[in-house]
C-alpha cells in the first residue's frame, strides 16, 4: 500500500468508528472532541501519536508491510474512547489467533 493511501485509510477507519471525528485538511491528523491524533512520516514509517491523554499512545506503522489500517486504527479508537470516558469497543478475536492454545501437549 502506498504511504499516503495508508494514512488516509487509517484516519478514515477512525472516522468510521467515531462519527464525531473530523479529519484535518492535510489528511495527517484527526480531532475527536478535544483530542488530536496526528501522524508524521519519519524514516519510511508513519509515526502516529495521541499525546494529550493520561496514557499517551505512540505507534509506528510501515505501509509497505502493513496488514490492515483498521487494526492499526482500533488501538487509537479505544484510547480516544477511554480518554473521553467511554468503554473501548469489544471486537471479536480474529480467527486463528491462538491456533495452538487449545491443543494439548503430549
Q: Digits of tens for pLDDT over the chain (106 positions)?
A: 788 899 999 999 999 999 999 999 999 999 999 999 999 998 899 999 999 888 899 999 998 887 789 989 999 999 999 999 999 887 777 666 555 555 555 5
Instruction: Establish how many alpha carbons lie within 13 A of residue 22's alpha carbon, considering only the half-sphere containing its beta carbon.
Output: 6
Q: Does residue 44 lie in a domain region?
A: yes
Query: Does a structural domain hold residue 98?
Result: no
| pTM for the model | 0.81
Range(s) of the domain holding residue 75: 3-83
18 in any annotated domain: yes
**How many domains, the chain?**
1
Amino acid at each position: 500500500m502506498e504511504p499516503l493511501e495508508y494514512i488516509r485509510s487509517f484516519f478514515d477507519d477512525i472516522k468510521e468508528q467515531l462519527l464525531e471525528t473530523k479529519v484535518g485538511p492535510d489528511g495527517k491528523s484527526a480531532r475527536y472532541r478535544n483530542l488530536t491524533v496526528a501522524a508524521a512520516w519519519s524514516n519510511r514509517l508513519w509515526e502516529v501519536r495521541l499525546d494529550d491523554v493520561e496514557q499517551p499512545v505512540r505507534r509506528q506503522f510501515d505501509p509497505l508491510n502493513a496488514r490492515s489500517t483498521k487494526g492499526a486504527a482500533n488501538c487509537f479508537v479505544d484510547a480516544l474512547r477511554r480518554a473521553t470516558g467511554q468503554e473501548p469497543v469489544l471486537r471479536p478475536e480474529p480467527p486463528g489467533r491462538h491456533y495452538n492454545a487449545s491443543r494439548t501437549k503430549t
